């Protein structure tokens, strides 16, 4: 009849079928996120191999439901077969430049789920502050956080984040960036950072981690042993970016070491020396690692399953860097064109949208090595008062 609304039989349930049982596991780089959604009159079925795929399908389903002027919820007949193009779809938050309260992180995880992001790259500490409460080295946050009571992430906070993320199919990859970007580590770990010199005398300032002391490696081993246990994902991000050699060069003991081991004036070799040992430590903890591109650019010997994180736009254009990294056989992550902290006027989402991650010279095998990318929200000008509208 003409007066009847075009709806058919009202649907009252969505059946969700997941092939692989069990919801207690963790998502990983190899997780299957594919799903099938079938919306037919009288039957709504969401099926997926794994629970992670079911989560993606649920998000899609929620986006398909509309509401008419009368308040009736409806959904069109649909057949969807869906799966992600890239397995690593991440978001970086920086909780060192500005502390982000737990609720800001959890809220971000919710919005990530709305957008099918599956990696939370937690750039948790850096020069300005050390908010991570370490059980092995409590002085690190006691001395290094902006405020040791109010601007820290306790062990419980960290677990809350990891579990909240897990329930949304999001991996948490922690980044403890070294040897640069470590000023806040200094107060809580005396002797860790390199004392800079002005001529013959210490200037009173500090530089990157001191790569020539045994105590450094003992510290790093203990800290990462803890971090490896606290963060269950297979991967850790080890940083390795923007190491300023000036302080190392100024330090006479380091200069002496350079001579001793025959590195001459090539401080990249000293950086590699540190990174190499760090990577060995991490490997011995049975973790994989992601590093910023400088580690690759400076020719550090990394394991073949290392993931190189491409972030720079110069001197090498990032597409060229992607080609170089994958040509050398390493997996690559792209962030360079997606530094969302670099705000500009107007609809700049378009520039981000138009990036084609595989637009570089290379054979199909190379392209397969691109595992995905990450949007980065560095925290120099971001805190809880402006995070959400700046990021989304």
What residues are labeled active site?
242
Closest by alpha carbon to 335, among 247, 254, 241, 262? 241
Contact 153, 132 (CB under 8 A): yes
356 vs 380, beta carbon nearer other proteins: 380
Tokens of 101: 């309260």
Q: How far is the CB of 374 from other proteins (least distance, A)?
A: 19
231 vs 378, beta carbon nearer other proteins: 378
Q: How far is the CB of 370 from other proteins (least distance, A)?
A: 27
150 vs 359, beta carbon nearer other proteins: 150
Q: How far is the CB of 392 from other proteins (least distance, A)?
A: 9
345 vs 353, beta carbon nearer other proteins: 345
Q: How far apart are CA 337 and CA 373, in angstroms?
A: 10
Q: How far apart are CA 190 and CA 181, in angstroms?
A: 16
Q: How far is the CB of 114 from other proteins (least distance, A)?
A: 15
Tokens of 391: 């990021």
Q: How far apart are CA 272 and CA 278, in angstroms?
A: 10
Closest by alpha carbon to 92, among 120, 128, 118? 120
- Which residues are paired to 237 by β-bridges? 175, 290
Closest by alpha carbon to 311, among 391, 388, 239? 239
Contact 289, 235 (CB under 8 A): yes
- Residues in contact with other proteins by CB under 8 A are 149-150, 341-347, 381, 385-386, 388-390
75 vs 148, beta carbon nearer other proteins: 148
Contact 391, 340 (CB under 8 A): yes
160 vs 341, beta carbon nearer other proteins: 341
Q: How far apart are CA 298 and CA 267, in angstroms?
A: 10
- Which residues are paired to 325 by β-bridges? none
Contact 177, 239 (CB under 8 A): yes
Q: How far is the CB of 91 from other proteins (least distance, A)?
A: 19
Q: How far is the CB of 386 from other proteins (least distance, A)?
A: 4
Handedness of CA 380, 384, 390, 392 (dihedral sign): positive
Place of tokens 């691109």: 370
Closest by alpha carbon to 374, among 322, 331, 339? 339
């Amino acid at each position: 009849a003409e007066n009847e609304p075009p709806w058919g039989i009202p649907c009252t349930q969505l059946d969700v079928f997941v092939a692989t049982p069990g919801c207690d596991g963790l998502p990983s780089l190899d997780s299957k996120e594919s799903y099938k959604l079938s919306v037919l009159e009288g039957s709504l079925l969401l099926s997926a191999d794994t629970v992670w795929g079911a989560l993606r399908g649920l998000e899609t389903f929620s986006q398909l439901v509309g509401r008419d002027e009368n308040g009736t919820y409806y959904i069109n007949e649909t057949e969807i077969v869906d799966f992600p193009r890239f397995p690593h779809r991440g978001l970086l938050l920086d909780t060192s430049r500005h502390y982000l309260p737990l609720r800001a992180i959890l809220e971000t995880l919710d919005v990530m789920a709305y957008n099918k992001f599956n990696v939370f790259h937690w750039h948790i500490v850096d020069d300005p502050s050390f908010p991570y409460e370490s059980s092995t080295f409590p002085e690190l946050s006691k001395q290094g956080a902006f405020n040791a009571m109010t601007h820290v992430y306790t062990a419980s906070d960290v677990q809350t984040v990891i579990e909240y993320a897990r329930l949304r199919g999001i991996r948490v990859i922690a980044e403890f960036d070294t040897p640069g970007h470590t000023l806040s580590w200094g107060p809580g770990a005396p002797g860790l950072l390199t004392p800079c010199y002005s001529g013959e005398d210490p200037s009173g300032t500090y530089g990157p981690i001191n790569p020539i002391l045994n105590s450094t490696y003992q510290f790093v081993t203990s800290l990462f042993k803890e971090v490896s246990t606290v963060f269950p994902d297979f991967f850790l991000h080890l940083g390795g970016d923007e190491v300023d050699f000036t302080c190392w060069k100024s330090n006479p003991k380091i200069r002496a070491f350079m001579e001793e081991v025959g590195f001459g004036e090539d401080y990249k070799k000293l950086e590699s020396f540190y990174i190499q040992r760090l990577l060995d430590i991490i490997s011995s903890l049975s973790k994989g690692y992601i590093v910023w591109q400088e580690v690759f650019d400076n020719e550090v010997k990394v394991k073949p399953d290392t993931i190189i994180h491409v972030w720079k736009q110069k001197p090498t254009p990032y597409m060229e860097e992607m080609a170089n990294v994958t040509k050398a056989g390493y997996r690559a992550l792209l962030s360079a064109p997606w530094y969302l902290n670099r705000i500009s006027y107007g609809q700049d989402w378009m520039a981000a949208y138009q990036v084609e991650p595989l637009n570089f010279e290379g054979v199909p095998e190379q392209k397969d090595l691109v595992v995905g990318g990450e949007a980065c929200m560095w925290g120099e000008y971001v805190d809880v008062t402006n995070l959400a509208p700046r990021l989304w």
